[in-house]
Amino acid sequence: DYNPDQWSEAVQEEDARLMKLAHWNIATVPVFSWAHLNPAEGAYTFEWLDRVIERLTRAGIDLCLCTATASTPAWVAQHYPDVLTVDEQGRQKPHGNRHAFCPNSPSFRRLGGALVREMALRYRGQPRLKLWHVNNEYGGLWPNYCYCPRCADGFRAFLEQRYGSLARLNEAWSTAFWGHTYTSFTQIDPPFAHGERSIQTMILDFRRFQSASYLACFEHEARILREATPDVPVTTNLMGPFFALNYHDWAQALDVVAWDNYPRHDTPFTEVAFNHALNRGLRGGEPFLVLEQSPSHQNWADYCRLKPPGKLRLLSLQAIAHGAESVMYFQWRKSQGGIEKFHGAVVEHHGRSDARVFREVSELGQELAALGQRTLGARTPAKVAVVFDWECWWAQKASSGPSRDLDYHAEVVHHFAALHAAGIATDVVGPHADLARYDVIVLPVAYLLRSAQARAIVERVRAGATLVATFWSGVVDEDDRVHEGGAPGPLREVLGFTVEEFDALPPELEQGVRFASPLGSLGADVTHEASLLCERLWLANAKPLAHYTQQFYAGDTALTVNEYGKGKAYYLGTRLAQPTLLAFFAAIAAAHGIASPLRDGAAPPAGVEVTKRVSPSGEALLYLLNHGDVPQAVALPAGVYVDALSGETFEGSATLVPRGVRILGAAS
Ligand code: GLA
Ligand code: ZN
C-alpha cells in the first residue's frame, strides 16, 4: 500500500528511488483517496494520481490500482445520508473512520460507481496495470452489519426470495415456538440487539443477507472494471476467517483470491497455516495473493511487538509454502498523523534505508527475485480435507447452548492443527467442495449440516474414503432446525449410531478417554485428556474404539468407527487434546498411505512446518520452516536436495537455524 497523497512530490521522488532499492515491484494505490480524487459530485482531480503513476512507471514499478471507495468522503455523507450505517442498537452512526458505508445505500453504489468508472477509463491503457483491488477489506470495521431502513427492506426482499412464501418462512424459522408466527413480511425487522433475538434462524439469515449485500457492492464495482479492462484481474483483500462474510460465496466473484495476513506476535504458526489453507481452498486449490502484511508491528495490537530479525522472511515464505504468489505490505511509508502513524511500514519516520526493517524487506525482495517463477502456479497435492463452513459458524454462534466455550472456528483450527503438526498436507474446503480427490474427510463440529452435503460425504465413504466427524455434528439443517431423529442427522447411517444426550463440561471438570485396543501409536493403557463436550451414543453398527473415564457415564463409548461400503467413518464424541489427535490422524491417514513428505512419513520436529508444492512443470518443492528459537535438523527422504534459496545441497537431513527456511528441490 502506497499512500502518496499524504506526501509532497519531493518525498514521492525519494519514494521511487527507495522502492528500487527495496526490490519493491508493485504498488497498491490509492486505497483511501476518494476524497482526493473526487472532492465534489461530478468533480475529479486525477492529475496528482497521473503524476504518481507516471513516476512509478518510470521507476519500473507495477500497479495494483485500488478503486478507493472504502473511505467515503465527508461530502458524500453530508449530502447523501443514506450512506450512513445504523448499528444493531438502531443508532445511526455519524460519518467517520472508514469502511463505514451502508452496503445497500443507493448513493454509495451510484457515487462510488461513478468514481470507479472514471478511474477505469482513465487508466485502462496503463501498461503496468496488473491488478484491480476493489474497495478495501469489506466489512472491515466489525461489527459492520447495517440495520438501516434500506437494509431492513432489503432483508425482507431477501427473505421473500429465499422462502417464496410466509408459510415456508414460518416453518424454517420455527416461529411456532414462543408464538412468533408472522402474518406479513412487513412485520419482520432486522435482528436488533434489543429486538428479536429468539428466532435464531433469523439471525443466521441476516448474516447471509449482509454478506450477500457487501458482495453485491464488490460485484457492482467489478462489473465496471471488467467492462473497461477485460484482461486485468479483479480482486479485493479478504481477511482470512472473517466472521461477517461468507468467503466461499465471495470467491466465485474474484478472479484471484487475495488476503491480508496480520498474525499477532503470539499467533501460533499452525493458525496462520490454517488461514493460508483456507484461502487456498476458496477457489479449489488455486494460488492466492498476500495483499498486505506488516513489515514490523501492528499498532492496533495490544502491544506493538517487533518482528525479530528473520520473522518477516519466515512469514512471507510460509505464505508461499501454502500457495501465495505475492508478498505485499501495508504500508510503504509510515504516515505522519492519523490513527496509523505508529503502524509498521517499510520506510519509517526517519526515512532511512540503512534501517533493519528496510534492509530485511530489501533482502527478501532480492531473494524472491532470485526464486523467479519457480514457486509459481504450484499446487498442494493434499489428500486430506478439513471442512470449514461459514453458515455453520454463524448458526453455531447464534445458538444458545451447548457451551460458552464452544467456538466453531477454534475447533476447526484445533483439528487442522493436529494434521498440520503431523506434517500431513491438508486442504481446508467449503461445504460444497468437490470431495472426489480426498481420501480422508475431516468434519469438525459440523453443527449445521445440509442433507445434500451429507449425501456427498456418504458417497465418498461408500467409495472408499475415510470420514472423521466430531461431536456436535449433524445437529441442525440449513434452517437451524434440528434434524428429525436426532444427531448426527443425515450421518446417522454412515456413522452407525444416534446421539442419546450430550454433556457440556465446565473447564474445571476432568474427563478422559481410554482406547479398547491400541490405535497407531495410541496405547490402550493410558488415559487421554478429553474436554468441552461429551456425547453419549446409542450404537447401531458402529464399533466402540474408546470409552470415557469420568462422570456417571464412565465406561460408555466416546469414540467409534463404522465400516461403510468400501470406507470407514470415525466419530470423536468428545474433544481430544492435540497430541492425541495428532497420533489419531497419523494412524487414520497411514491406512490410506498418506503421511508427511519427510523420511518415513514422520512428523516434523515441534515448531517446524513442512509443506510440499508441485509446480505445473511437475517439479516438487519441499518447504521446511523453523518457527522455533532453536536450530533443527529434519530427516529427508532418500535423495539429494538443493535449497532453492541458498544453493546448499542436503542428503539425509537438512539443518534449519531458528526462523530458518529451506525450499528443497531434487538435485538434477
Ligand atoms: C488493514 C487495512 C490497511 C491497514 C492495515 C493495518 O489490513 O486494509 O489499510 O489499515 O489493516 O494493519
Ligand atoms: Zn444499511
Q: Which residues pair with 626 in a beta bridge?
A: 608
Q: Which ligand is nearest to the CA of 150?
A: 2
262 lines ligand 1 (CB under 6 A): yes
Residue 217 confidence (pLDDT)? 98
Ligand 1 pocket test, candidate residues 265, 292, 298, 346, most atoms within 8 A of CB:
292
Rounded alpha-carbon distances, angstroms, from residue 545 to 439, 444, 579: 21, 18, 17
Q: If you measure from the C-alpha of residue 137 to the centroid of ligand 1, how many angstroms do you get, rounded to a whole number?
A: 8
Q: Are the C-beta atoms of residues 661 and 624 closer than 8 Å to each other?
A: yes
Q: Whose CA is closest to 191, among 292, 98, 87?
A: 87
Strands, DSSP E only, in 588-629?
A: 608-614, 620-626
Residue 216 makes CB contacts below 8 A (sequence gap 6+) with 103
Q: Are the C-beta atoms of residues 36 and 5 closer than 8 Å to each other?
A: yes
Quick check: helix, strand or coil at residue 431?
coil
CA dihedral 224, 229, 232, 234 (to 10 degrees): 0
For ligand 2, an ion, list residues with CB under 5 A: 102, 104, 146, 148, 151
Task: Give the pLDDT confidence of 452-491 residue by residue, as tens digits.
Answer: 999 999 999 999 999 999 999 999 999 999 999 999 999 9
Check whether 142 has a pLDDT greater than 90: no
Ligand 1 pocket test, candidate residues 264, 289, 330, 331, most atoms within 8 A of CB:
330
Instruction: Report strand pairing: 466-470 vs 440-443.
Output: parallel
3 lines ligand 1 (CB under 6 A): no
Residue 56 confidence (pLDDT)? 98
Q: What percent of the chain has pLDDT over 90?
A: 99
Question: Grid coordinates in use for 72?
Answer: 467515503
Task: Give the pLDDT confidence of 586-632 residue by residue, as tens digits.
Answer: 999 999 999 999 999 999 999 999 999 999 999 999 999 999 999 99
Residue 149 confidence (pLDDT)? 98
Q: If you measure from the C-alpha of residue 149 to the centroid of ligand 2, how many angstroms do you get, rounded to a whole number?
A: 7
Q: Which ligand is nearest to the CA of 30?
A: 1
Rounded alpha-carbon distances, angstroms, from residue 121 to 32, 58, 228, 506: 19, 21, 6, 60
Instruction: Report strand pairing: 661-666 vs 620-626.
Output: antiparallel
Q: If you measure from the C-alpha of residue 211 to the centroid of ligand 2, how many angstroms do you get, rounded to a whole number?
A: 12
Q: Whose CA is closest to 129, among 59, 57, 44, 58?
A: 57
Q: Which ligand is nearest to the CA of 100?
A: 2
Give Cα 581 to chain centroid, integer Å. 22
Residue 186 confidence (pLDDT)? 98
Over residues 351-362, the mean pLDDT reads 98
List the residue whose alpha carbon is closest to atom 11 of ligand 1: 330
How far apart CA 211 and CA 100 sit, in angstroms, is: 15
Residue 167 confidence (pLDDT)? 98
List the residue whose alpha carbon is closest to atom 12 of ligand 1: 298
Q: Which ligand is nearest to the CA of 103?
A: 2
Task: Give the pLDDT confidence of 553-588 residue by residue, as tens digits.
Answer: 999 999 999 999 999 999 999 999 999 999 999 999
How far apart CA 255 and CA 288 sit, in angstroms, is: 10
Q: Are the C-beta atoms of residues 455 and 525 closer than 8 Å to each other?
A: no
Question: Letter for the amino acid at 312?
Answer: L
Q: Are the C-beta atoms of residues 279 and 237 closer than 8 Å to each other?
A: no
298 lines ligand 1 (CB under 6 A): yes
How far apart CA 327 and CA 317 sit, in angstroms, is: 9
Residue 668 confidence (pLDDT)? 86
Check whether 143 has a pLDDT greater than 80: no
Q: Which residues pair with 277 in a beta bridge?
A: none
- pLDDT band at 393; cut points 50, 70, 90: very high
My answer on whether omega of the bond before 190 falls inside 30° of 0, hence cis, is no
CB neighbours of residue 304 within 10 Å: 15
Q: Whose CA is closest to 569, among 410, 486, 457?
A: 457
How far apart CA 195 and CA 419 sit, in angstroms, is: 42
- Looking at the chain, the number of H-run helices and the number of E-run strands are 17, 24
Over residues 509-527, the mean pLDDT reads 96
Long-range contacts of 553-558 (CB under 8 A, 24+ apart): 553/503, 558/513, 558/530, 558/534
Phi/psi for 47 (5° steps) reads -60, -40
Rounded alpha-carbon distances, angstroms, from residue 604 to 205, 466, 480, 597: 43, 24, 40, 9
Provide the annotated active-site residues. Answer: 137, 292
Check whether 450 has a pLDDT greater than 90: yes
Task: Give the pLDDT confidence of 399-437 residue by residue, as tens digits.
Answer: 999 999 999 999 999 999 999 999 999 999 999 999 999
Task: Give the pLDDT confidence of 280-334 residue by residue, as tens digits.
Answer: 999 999 999 999 999 999 999 999 999 999 999 999 999 999 999 999 999 999 9
Phi/psi for 13 (5° steps) reads -60, -45
32 lines ligand 1 (CB under 6 A): no
99 lines ligand 1 (CB under 6 A): no
User: How is the beta sheet containing 324-327 ordered, strand by strand?
Assistant: 237-238, 258-260, 288-292, 324-327
The sign of the torsion formed by the CA atoms of 339, 345, 347, 352 equals positive
Q: If you measure from the C-alpha of residue 141 to the centroid of ligand 1, how many angstroms do you get, rounded to a whole number?
A: 11
242 lines ligand 1 (CB under 6 A): no
411 lines ligand 1 (CB under 6 A): no
Average pLDDT in the chain: 97
Which atom from ligand 1 is nearest to the alpha carbon of 136? 8
How far apart CA 50 and CA 18 sit, in angstroms, is: 20
How far apart CA 638 and CA 21 sit, in angstroms, is: 41
How far apart CA 228 and CA 48 sit, in angstroms, is: 22
Q: Are the C-beta atoms of residues 38 and 367 closer than 8 Å to each other?
A: no
Check whether 141 has a pLDDT greater than 80: no
